[in-house]
Amino acid sequence: MTKQDDYTIISTKNTFMKSVKATILSILFATVFLGSTLAQTLQMEVLREIGAAPSAERIEADITTLVEFGTRHTLSDTTSDTRGIGAARRWIKAEFERISADCGGCLEVFYVSDVIEGTRRIPEPTNVVNVVAIQRGTADPNRFIMMSGDIDSRVSDALDGESESPGANDNASGVAGALEAARVLTNYEFEGSIMYAALSGEEQGLFGGQILAEYMKENDMDLKGVLNNDMIGNIQGINQVIDNTTARVFSEGTRAVETEREGNIRRYTGGEVDSPSRNLARYVDKMADDYIRNLDVMMIYRLDRFGRGGHHRPFNAAGFPGVRIMETNEDYNRQHQDLRTEDGVEYGDVLDEVEFDFAAKLTGLNAVVMAGMSWAPSPPAEVEIEGAVRPSTTLKWKALDAEQNPQLAGYKIYWRLTDANQWQKSVFVPADATEHTLENVVIDNYYFGVASVSKDGFESPVVFPGPNGSFGD
């Protein structure tokens, strides 16, 4: 055989092997693609099912019951079975227990309370009591996403615990939403845990949230996000705008617990709009776009309404990510008002002004967010970034615990222009990866983050690199 013949055989063999390899890779890619497509299709179906499941009729019934307690003021009667905050919180606890009975005891239902005194709005010793229900995860039971509403109501005088204070929208709507979300989500099992909370003392100084946040820190509970629902049932604003297609999500920028060192890092690397709370808000926005019909989320880059505070704030103060979900158009004549009519204008937070279909829609938004985060692996921890004066950008992160995250398929590297509201581009890397380099993507021009992805296509919120964006260990 000549050398030319030998070369020809070798060349033919190499061509054949390349063809085989290409075919194998094509098959593998097709298998992965089809598997991924099927998983995403199933994901979309189940989340859309969850988003549409909340019942406006059940929410109306729950709000009606809460209104019928007359007043739920923090300083109101605690011994009556029919009136005051004591009767209201016992009914809420009993309702969570009924939901638990329907799912074979899948909820842990209990009170978390403390005595508050000597403050401007709680001058005398008062037991501030929260009602909590936990749906434990199957793989990572100490990881939580929480939906909360506020039990208490008030009229014009913040210390008036006697007058009629229906609090239909503010905030029986939030509590009714939490109850209904529990009815929907207890039909499913999740890897992570879900907490439903009815908080007290909101109108008196956000004490219920403070008490529960301290309880969770003391018990080393890994809270990845708080969805505080305060007023989710009104569609007509004092500005005469009527709109049932939008909702607002408020979130802090710079973390309340940021240290001086962390602030200095942020100054040079960015992150003012990428706190875990802010990326939780982005997650809510994306879930609304993907799974809730006819609902657009307005992300407000502010802790809460101008100069005001909500019950996610004490969780932020304790270092937990948290956002406020609420209606877009408020009617201030229906908030914190004595029941009356003046100059033809009706005042008071009454049942007739609540839009129950809208409350159900926002409840569905909460439900898909909690389901998505609880089915997804935990958000990546210890995310770091490198790339100064280089043509490419490298992200690194700590490998997730396999026992706690058996559903982990891999991670997505996200990036966006620095003035973009939402993440724009992404690339997937497998579960065994703990770093990835984006070739020829210059670090100076974008913001970056990492999300974990399940085998069924569920994603965690995106985690911005460094302490500014951390969701915890």
CATH class of 56-375: alpha beta
- CA–CA dist 64, 330 (Å, integer): 20
Q: Is 345 helix (H, G, I), strand (E, B) or coil?
A: strand
Asked whether the predicted pLDDT for residue 22 surpasses 70, the reply is no
Q: What is the pLDDT of residue 39?
A: 67
Q: Tens digits of per-residue pLDDT, 258-281?
A: 999 999 999 999 999 999 999 999
Residue 299's closest CA among 275, 279, 321?
Answer: 279
Average pLDDT over residues 74-78: 98
> What is the second-level CATH architecture of the domain 381-469?
Sandwich (2.60)
Q: What is the pLDDT of residue 35?
A: 53
Q: Tens digits of per-residue pLDDT, 422-447?
A: 999 999 999 999 999 999 999 999 99
- CA–CA dist 221, 226 (Å, integer): 13
Asked whether the predicted pLDDT for residue 25 surpasses 90, the reply is no
Residue 458's closest CA among 375, 400, 347?
Answer: 375
Asked whether the predicted pLDDT for residue 38 surpasses 70, the reply is no
Q: Please, is 229 exposed, middle or buried when counting C-beta atoms within 10 Å of its C-beta (0-12, 13-18, 19+)? A: buried
Asked whether the predicted pLDDT for residue 79 surpasses 80, the reply is yes
- CA–CA dist 129, 126 (Å, integer): 9
Distance of CA 101 to the CA centre of its chain: 26
Encoding tokens for residue 270?
């960015």
Q: Tens digits of per-residue pLDDT, 164-207?
A: 999 999 999 999 999 999 999 999 999 999 999 999 999 999 99
Q: Is 432 helix (H, G, I), strand (E, B) or coil?
A: coil
Q: Listing from the earlier edge strand, what are the strands of the sheet with 126-135? A: 107-116, 126-135, 192-199, 140-150, 222-229, 322-327, 246-251, 296-300
Q: Which has more confidence, 342 or 11?
A: 342
- CA–CA dist 65, 213 (Å, integer): 28
- CA–CA dist 127, 3 (Å, integer): 95
Residues of the chain above pLDDT 70, percent: 92
**Distance from first CA to last CA of the chain, Å, rounded?**
66
Do 405 and 360 meet the contact criterion of CB atoms below 8 Å apart? no
- CA–CA dist 248, 81 (Å, integer): 36
Q: What does the H/E/C string look like for 255-313?
A: CCCCCHHHHHHHHHHCCCCCCHHHHHHHHHHHHHHHHCCCCEEEEECCCCCCCCCCCCH
pTM here is 0.92
